[in-house]
Structure 1
Amino acid sequence: MHIVDRRLNPNSKSLENRQRFLRRAKAQVQEAVRNASSSRDLGDALEGGEVSIPSGGVREPRFRTTPGDVQDHILPGNKTFSEGDILPRPDQGGGRGGGAGNGDGEDAFRFVLTREEFLEIFLDDLELPDMAKRKLASAEREGLRRAGYQTSGSPTSMSITRTMQLAMVRRTALRRPSQSSLADLEQALADCADEDRRTALRAEIEAMQTRMKRIPFIDPIDVRYRHFEVEPKPVARAVMFCLMDVSGSMTEHMKDLAKRFYLLLYVFLTRRYKTVDVVFIRHTDKAEEVDEETFFRSPASGGTLVSSALAAMSKIVAERYPPADWNIYAAQASDGDNAHGDNQLAAQLLTESVLPVSQYFAYLEVGATSHMRQPMPDSPLWTLYERLQSEGAPLSMRRVEDRNEIFPVFRELFKKRDGQRVGAK
């Protein structure tokens, strides 16, 4: 079966050629998308728009002659040169010229990506780590499966074997004469010299031919077509816990960095996965599960007890997400401060309740913008998580201090990798 899509391309563009170009220049387009994402505000970062790649990345492959070969050129409208003249080199100018100063230059090829294309390229090489365990849940329609035969369908789905089997069964049941029996009678007629016997053989042959015409070799009731049914493909279920510190030690700049990270994470999860639940937990000295609107927009302030968020996550896991059935992930954002004496309880909750049931735990430490060269001292939480990571815990750690660091850090935390965990930075 051939399907011809005759829908008009948007804005009179060749959609097929556009997709072919994006596939051919995939590496350069991905790099351009990452650079464009880092330089935009979060509200505009995933909305598509103009990107540029080096013009060398859009060249079509072509055959070239080797040096020294004789080449003939036909120049229409030539009034200056004759055969055998040596053509001067053109001036170094235009798009590839060096312009002012020395050195070679190259124009950038600019084009516009739609929001769907931008998201597809940006999220192409990201995934939730170790998404393979636990029981499976049914997903949306994924494919087809064989479901027997039916009496109608497309000619391309006709089952020749099944049709011939049914035709043979029908012919046998109705005792249709075979071609070999007819051939034997015709041979006997040719060899017979007795006229009365020949008359009887002719009558028998005519009766056999008439019966064969009444019982065709293949009847429409014999034809069968392969039947397919839509089958949902099982996929693993997952839940992502978003733990955000909203205590008084978190400045507006720090909260803005954390919210940008979680917004990017939310877009990634809802775009790439169909069976992922997202649980929002924010905490000061006490934690609460909130909805998306409250998590991103509602103000809060107070002391800091990280253990409250970890205890809330453990409680929700025990009540709604059995570890035997769910892939459990967590992403925590904090400035690294914690109440004195709470680190021991937080470490106990992590090692005994959270990390044993988690596939992956990502910790993002947000800091104030600093132009100092020397590194800042490690925070209590960073020191705690670094120790747990050295003991083999499934967690990754990153620091950010500016908006343009959000996208690179996010990609490092959730990039595809083969069995290797991302270390602390």
Structure 2
Amino acid sequence: MSREEFLDFVFDGLELPHLERKALVDLDEVRPVRAGVSKEGVPARINIVRSMREAQARRIAMRAPIRRALREATQALDEEERKDPVLRNPARIAELKAEIERLERRLKAVPFIDTYDLRYNNLIDQPQPSSKAVMFCVMDVSGSMTQAHKDIAKRFFLLLYLFLERNYEKVELVFVRHHTAAKEVDEEEFFYSRETGGTIVSSALTMVDEIIESRYPPGQWNLYVAQASDGDNWDDDSITCRELLVERLMPRLQYFTYVEITPHAHQALWEEYERVEAEYAERFAMRQIVDAGDIYPVFRELFKRRIAST
């Protein structure tokens, strides 16, 4: 089995929930659309109907004065030939016959279609709504997160990273680590830094909110958050987390997923998040991971393809 086939198998049936087409954000995301006709273009875009209509209008316009002159000359010839032979003017008759022949040649010389008649379908590039998304990866690196807990969190986010890279071309990732303070970091620091400290989870949620405000307008981006923690939090900060989610983040997010890495009973953070889940059942999901064997089943449960409602 090749790497591509393996990844196809691993991520089969998974998707980013509630991904929507958003407002115009990428001018390079365009499709050609019809925009009337033009007098210039390539042969493949010739509008036959319009070209024939233009040709017919031109033929009518060019032939009308010739036909009128031909009709007048024919009428004059007929009148001249009906005269008494004594009164006929042979020179005049010859002149009229020559004029009639000249006019008939002019009529035949009018082309059926001319390059001037050609019309082409005009195509313009129209910006399209974008399916661009941003995934915020939020990881707890506080002192209560043992090395084993951090390794599980990193494996979960690595799986998420591979999934997004494999299945979506226009997804940005924002990495946020936190203990008592949150920090936006690059990919390498997110996975390999050994920084640690106390725990204030709301610092990370506040940072996510600030980044959305400054860089990712909800009208233009699909917003996702994946958070991993052991559930240990400072004093009443869990209440602050719930308030941030309900008042600031959830109204703008497509989906929020929380994994709690602990074999022990849940603490205040989980209980507050349960209240959020009750209010945003379709767009908020939380699962517990006890050991490394739970990572893939939990990941599949969080990102399984939803059946579209009719």
Determine if the TM-score, normalized by the shorter chain, exceeds 0.5. Answer: yes
User: In the alignment, what sits opposite 2:286?
Assistant: 397
Change (3 A) 1:159 1:324: closer
Q: Partner amino acid for 2:190?
A: F
Equivalent runs, 1:352-363 vs 2, <5 Å? 352-363=247-258
Which blocks of at least 5 consecutive residues in structure 1 are unaligned? Answer: 1-49, 51-112, 369-375, 421-425
Equivalent residue for 2:15, pick from 117, 127, 135? 127
Equivalent residue for 1:303, pick from 193, 198, 201? 198
User: In the alignment, what sits opposite 1:91?
Assistant: none
Equivalent runs, 1:225-304 vs 2, <5 Å? 225-304=120-199
Change (3 A) 1:245 1:274: same
Q: Partner amino acid for 2:26?
A: S
Equivalent runs, 1:24-423 vs 2, <5 Å? 50=1, 113=2, 115=4, 125-132=13-20, 135-138=23-26, 140-147=28-35, 148-154=37-43, 156-175=44-63, 203-367=98-262, 377-392=265-280, 394-418=283-307
Aligned equivalents of 1:399, 1:412: Cα separation in 2:
11
Change (3 A) 1:168 1:302: same
User: In the alignment, what sits opposite 1:23?
Assistant: none
Cα RMSD for the two superposed structures: 3.7
Aligned equivalents of 1:262, 1:275: Cα separation in 2:
18
Change (3 A) 1:261 1:181: farther
Q: What secondary structure sits across from 1:329 in the alignment?
A: strand
Change (3 A) 1:159 1:123: farther
Equivalent residues of 2:134, 2:173 under 8 A apart: yes
Higher deviation after alignment, 339-348 or 284-293: 339-348
Q: What secondary structure sits across from 2:26 in the alignment?
A: strand
Equivalent residues of 1:126, 1:416 under 8 A apart: yes
Q: Partner amino acid for 1:378?
A: H
Q: Over residues 140-183 of structure 1, what are the superposed CA-to-partner deviations in whole Å (9 max), with x where a residue is unaligned?
A: 344211243343423x4321122112223332343367899999
Task: Please give the TM-score of this superposition, normalised by the length of structure 2.
Answer: 0.77
The structure with higher relative contact order (CA 8 Å, sep 6+) is 2
Question: If each structure's helix is expressed as a fraction of its own residues, which one has the higher value?
Answer: 2
Q: Over residues 27-78 of structure 1, what are the superposed CA-to-partner deviations in whole Å (9 max), with x where a residue is unaligned?
A: xxxxxxxxxxxxxxxxxxxxxxx1xxxxxxxxxxxxxxxxxxxxxxxxxxxx
Q: Partner amino acid for 1:304?
A: T
Cα drift, residue 221 of structure 1: 2.7
Which blocks of at least 5 consecutive residues in structure 2 are unaligned? Answer: none
Aligned equivalents of 2:284, 2:107: Cα separation in 1:
78
Q: Partner amino acid for 1:328?
A: L
Cα drift, residue 212 of structure 1: 2.4
Q: What secondary structure sits across from 1:417 in the alignment?
A: coil
Q: What secondary structure sits across from 2:28 in the alignment?
A: strand
Aligned equivalents of 1:122, 1:140: Cα separation in 2:
32
Equivalent residues of 1:151, 1:225 under 8 A apart: yes
Q: What secondary structure sits across from 1:131 in the alignment?
A: coil
Q: Partner amino acid for 1:386?
A: E
Equivalent residues, number? 298
Aligned equivalents of 1:225, 1:124: Cα separation in 2:
45
Equivalent residues of 2:136, 2:175 under 8 A apart: yes
Percent of aligned pairs sharing the same letter: 46
Cα drift, residue 399 of structure 1: 2.4
Change (3 A) 1:409 1:162: same
